[in-house]
Structure 1
């Protein structure tokens, strides 16, 4: 079976898209873990009786007022949610492109090519 330059470019493009999808999945997994950590921190903050609480910034703890810490946690949660939505949209777009390439490549090569995970 002859593989033209266009076919090879399509295969390479599919491979790059697949790599991007895997990277996005890893980022989404990390963001979801961070969201769980933020939720746990919010719950712990509700139980705190002190007016000042330690808040981690980078590698240092700072003492913040409870309300300020709650606001920062809420901002972090909102930012994480927006990042998750953006990454999910990007992943959906990439999967759509991959589906079109799969259709084209399977039409030409049939079972001679494997594009499944």
Structure 2
């Protein structure tokens, strides 16, 4: 924390109902963005694991069954069936990741709009940046 310089000090700024609504909305988008970023990183990691698994299965023996996890149980599948399931899972994850990216971009766009409004109204008296 730091003290404001004399020329940075603002007088008492009245916060209107609309200002408070904008601040609350910004806070909601900020929390949503953090949740989306966590989900995005989790899905990205899961995708990397599936990519590694797909590469490992390319080296597997075609005649031996592959243990494939479905829920909490393992079933024996042919190599081809396991590769198809992994490919389908990769496509689904790609779609989920793109959806999360889109939601994150929308949240950032809305937050940027609110930042402009709030900084125009409050100047240095408000801090909306991540530390």
Q: TM-score range by the shorter chain?
A: over 0.9
Please state if 1:21 is matched with 2:42: no
The total of aligned residue pairs comes to 117
Structure with bigger gyration radius: 2
Corresponding residue number in structure 1 for 2:18: 6
Shift of 1:51: 3.2
Residue pairs, 1:1-117, within 5 angstroms: 1-49=13-61, 50-117=63-130
**TM value normalised by structure 1:** 0.97
CA–CA distance in 1 between the matches of 2:96 and 2:44?
10
Shift of 1:58: 1.4
CA–CA distance in 2 between the matches of 1:58 and 1:30?
18
Identify the range of structure 1 (101-110 vs 56-65) with the bigger mean alpha-carbon deviation: 56-65
- Classify the secondary structure of the residue corresponding to 1:48: coil
Q: Which runs of 5+ in 1 are unaligned?
A: none
Structure 1 stretches of 4+ moved >3 Å: none
Note the aligned Cα RMSD (angstroms). Answer: 0.8
CA–CA distance in 2 between the matches of 1:24 and 1:71?
29
**TM value normalised by structure 2:** 0.87
CA–CA distance in 2 between the matches of 1:91 and 1:45?
33
> Per-residue CA shift, 1:2-50, capped at 9, x if unaligned?
0011100000000000011111100110011000110111111111114
